[in-house]
Amino acid sequence: MSRLPFRSSIYRAGLALVFICSGQLAAAAPVTAVYEAAAAQKQGMLATMKALVEIESGSKDVEDVERIAELVSKRLSDLGGTVKIVPATDVTRLDDTPEKVGPMVHAEFKGTGDSKIMLIAHMDTVYRRGMLKDQPFRIDGERAYGLGIADDKHGVASVIHTIDLLQKLGFKDYGTLTVLINGDEEISSPGSRSTITRLGADQDAVFSFEGGGMKPRLTLATSGIGAVYLNVQGKTSHAGARPEGGVNALYELAHQILQMDDLSKPEDGLKLNWTVAQAGTNRNVIPGNASAQADARALRVSDFDALAKTIDERVQNKLLPDSKVSVKFEVRRPPLEATDASRALARHGVQIYEELDLPLAVVDRPTGGGTDAAFAALKARGPVIEGMGLSGFGAHSNDAEYIIIDSIVPRLYLAARMIMDVSEGKAPLK
C-alpha cells in the first residue's frame, strides 16, 4: 500500500470505498493510513511484550506487580497521558484474598471530542516468582512465547500501542480515553472491581483486551463465577461411649447439601456443584465441625442474587436444632451479559475486519467465565466488548504460552478503528 498522511477526509474517504461486484456488495477497503500505522507498531509492540514478560508479576507478589506498574505508568505517561498508580484500598475480601493487593494504573488522554471510551487489561499473572526462567520471552517463527504473554501482557501492550498508533495519526476526536490496567485480575480483582465498575459506568464504550481467540472473535458474554462456603458447628463427644452427648456436624452438613440438590438449573445456565468437604478429627469422635464449598455459575447477575437468597433461606431448615449453620456466598465474577448495544458495536467490528478480508466471530452466548469486563458492564451505559486482544494459546500453562505475531497488525487496526468510529459517531452504540 502507498503511504498516505492521515487526514480526517482521507479516513472518511477510506470508509466509503464500497463497490458493487457481480451484483453483490463488497467489503470496504482498509483505511490505508490506519493500516500502515498499525503495521508500523509491530516491532515496537514485540519489544513492549518482551519488557513486560521480563518483569514477573504474580498476583500475590505485590512488590513485583508494583514494578510492572511503574513500567506501564511510564509508558502511558510518555504518550502524554495523565497517569497515576492507584493503590488498592477499597478491597472486597474474598476467601483467598491476600492481606495486600496489587495496584492499578489509571491514565486519561484528553481529546477534542465528546465520546468517553475506556480500555482495560491486567498486568498480573498466575505464576509464582522464579518461573520466568522456564518461560523467557522468545520468538519462534510466527509465535512469541513468554510468561504471561497470552494472559494478559499482550493486552497491556495492545492498549499502549493502540494509543501510540492514534497519536501518530494525529487522531484526537475522542473526548476522553480512559485506561485502567489492574494488578489483581487473576485473584478475582478484589481491589480493582469497584474502580472498574465506577469508571465503566461513565463510558460510551468499554473495550477489554483479553485474548481474541485462536480463531479471531469478540466476546460479549461470559458466565459468572460464584462460590458458596458452608460451615456447621456441632459438639464433639465420644462416638462409642456417649454419641448422644454430641451434635454431629457431619450429619447436619450432609442434610444441608442434600436439601440444596435442586438449586442447579443447567437448562438456564445456573449451576451449583459441591466440590470440597471436610469434617471431624478422629474416627471415634462425633465431629464438632464440618464445612463444604461449592462452585456456582450463572448467565445473569439476577440469577446469582436469587441463588444467594435461596441458599440463605434453605440453611434455616436444620436437621439438628442444636447445630449452628452459617453460609457465605461470594460473587467472584459477575456474568457479562450481551446487550443490543454490544451486539451492534461488535457487528461494526466484524465489518472492520472484513476490510482486511479476515473473518471475525462474535460470541454472544456464555462459553466460560471470568472477565473484568463484567465488572465494567455492571452499571455501564454503553456497550462492553471483550476479546480485543491478540490470538494466543496456553494461558496458565507451564511451558506453552504464546501469541500469534501475525495477529498484531489486524488487532491494532481493529482497536484503532473502533475507537475512531465511536469517537466520530460512525459506530452504533445502541
Give yes or no: 185 in active site. yes
Give dist(CA 289, CA 248) in Å, integer: 8
Q: Which of these is catalytic: 124, 173, 204, 386?
A: 124
Tell me the one-letter amino acid at 329.
Answer: F
Determine the Cα angle at 411 with ends 407 and 414, to 5°.
Answer: 150
Give dist(CA 313, CA 305) in Å, integer: 13
Identify the three-state secondary structure at position 73.
Answer: helix
> Who's near 316: CB < 8 A, 6+ residues apart?
none
Strands 237-238 and 392-393: unpaired
Residues in a beta bridge with 385: 207
Give dist(CA 297, CA 315) in Å, integer: 20
User: How would you class 24 by CB atoms within 10 Å of its CB: exposed for 0-12, middle for 13-18, buried for 19 or more?
Assistant: exposed
Q: Which of these is catalytic: 64, 151, 185, 386?
A: 185
Rg of the chain taking only CA atoms, in angstroms: 25
User: How would you class 9 by CB atoms within 10 Å of its CB: exposed for 0-12, middle for 13-18, buried for 19 or more?
Assistant: exposed
| Residue 233: all three cell numbers together | 458447628
| Residue 25: all three cell numbers together | 456488495
Angle between helix 42-53 and helix 154-169 axes, rounded to 10 deg? 140
Sign of the CA dihedral running 382, 383, 384, 389: negative
Give dist(CA 279, CA 291) in Å, integer: 6
Task: Return the DSSP state at 335.
Answer: P
Angle between helix 32-40 and helix 408-423 axes, rounded to 10 deg? 130
- Which amino acids are annotated catalytic? 124, 185
